[in-house]
Structure 1
């Protein structure tokens, strides 16, 4: 897929899971604790995934090769417009 739309699709899925969690949690004294724990876990996992995915999709720094010999590295960087 490799576009930002995938982030929105996963967000919709996570929102659905959060709504399902709200209704499926067992009744009792700790119902609020269960709900909060599960929903916060889902949201935080989504945020970490989305940040990692988007940072790889649109990197801020262009990768450079460090395995080239110095005499070839100059031509490489000039050819690809790195410097």
Structure 2
């Protein structure tokens, strides 16, 4: 796990967005189709990136505490 995965995924999403922009079929709804595809890619990327970074650099680190009291006889 490294922070470079975020950068590589961003470039992948940027390339996919450019391809979606270029190869969208012509028609009355071309702008809507482009917008839907690109916004879906961006939203999925942001959701993944935020979750990935939250796991990579947590704000609150887990503390090891005894879950059970020690067994006393």
TM-score between both structures, scaled by the size of structure 1: 0.78
The alpha carbon displacement at 1:67 in A equals 6.5
What root-mean-square deviation, in Å, do the aligned CA atoms of Structure 1 and Structure 2 show? 1.9
Question: Which structure has more RCO (C-alpha within 8 Å, separation ≥ 6)?
Answer: 2
Per-residue displacement from partner, 1:17-72 (whole Å, max 9, x unpaired)? Answer: 0000001111000000000000000000000000000000011111235772145x
Q: C-alpha separation between the residues in 1 aligned to 2:6 and 2:58?
A: 16
Q: Moved runs in structure 1, 4+ residues, more than 3 A?
A: 64-67
Q: Could you tell me which runs of 5 or more consecutive residues in structure 1 were left unpaired when the two chains were aligned.
A: 72-83
Residue 53 (structure 1) aligns with: 52
Q: C-alpha separation between the residues in 1 aligned to 2:69 and 2:58?
A: 25
Q: C-alpha separation between the residues in 2 aligned to 1:37 and 1:18?
A: 11
Q: Which has the higher helix share?
A: 1
Residue 6 (structure 2) aligns with: 7
Aligned residues: 71
Q: Could you tell me which runs of 5 or more consecutive residues in structure 2 were left unpaired when the two chains were aligned.
A: none
Residue 23 (structure 1) aligns with: 22
